[in-house]
Amino acid sequence: MPQPTCIIGYTLPIFSAKTVDGTTINNNYFKDKITIINFWFSSCSPCMAEIPGFNIIMEQYGTENFNYLGITSDTKKQTLETIEKFKWKFEQISDAKKLITETFRISWGYPTTFVVDKNGKIIQAFSGGSMGQHAIDKIQKDVTPFLIKN
């Protein structure tokens, strides 16, 4: 699977969207915090397999210095069902097909994850996933080094 490493070093595109809870997310959201952005959808088994790994990261590192954002083309209803089923604590933007395809231009497959620095610059990007414990371990291995540094 092709990897999105070509976007490492680039600044996130300008955008504004609302989470399923009604919070507005725009480029100010990324200032002064490291952010994990995960692009997913509920019928993607590898996407679902990563969620426990993301939850562990969030529990370990908290929210004082870090943001956690999921972006999905799933409907709000599907997104809320996934959040409930997996106890996923990330803020979530649903119904985001246009945001995914036109603004972020995600073309590497799912799941795709970005780690964004405190200035909105992409410092890590990867796509594809696995299943089971390997998915949990891999997401921690791929993301944690960027959190420890900051």
Give me the torsion for CA of 68, 6, 147, 21, rounded to 10°: 0
Q: Where are the beta strands (DSSP E) in 77-121?
A: 91-93, 112-116
Q: What is the mean pLDDT of residues 79-106?
A: 95
What pLDDT shows up at residue 2?
59
Counting every residue written for the chain, the total comes to 150
pLDDT tens digit sequence for 4-45: 777 899 999 999 999 999 999 999 999 999 999 999 999 999
pLDDT above 90: residue 109: no
Domain annotation for the chain: domains and CATH numbers: 4-148 (3.40.30.10)
The DSSP annotation for 33-47 comes to SEEEEEEE-TT-HHH
What does DSSP assign to residue 121? B
**Which of the four pLDDT bands, split at 50, 70 and 90, describes residue 51?**
very high
pLDDT above 90: residue 81: yes
pLDDT above 60: residue 1: no
The structure's pTM equals: 0.94
Rounded distance between C-alpha atoms, residue 26 and residue 42, angstroms: 24
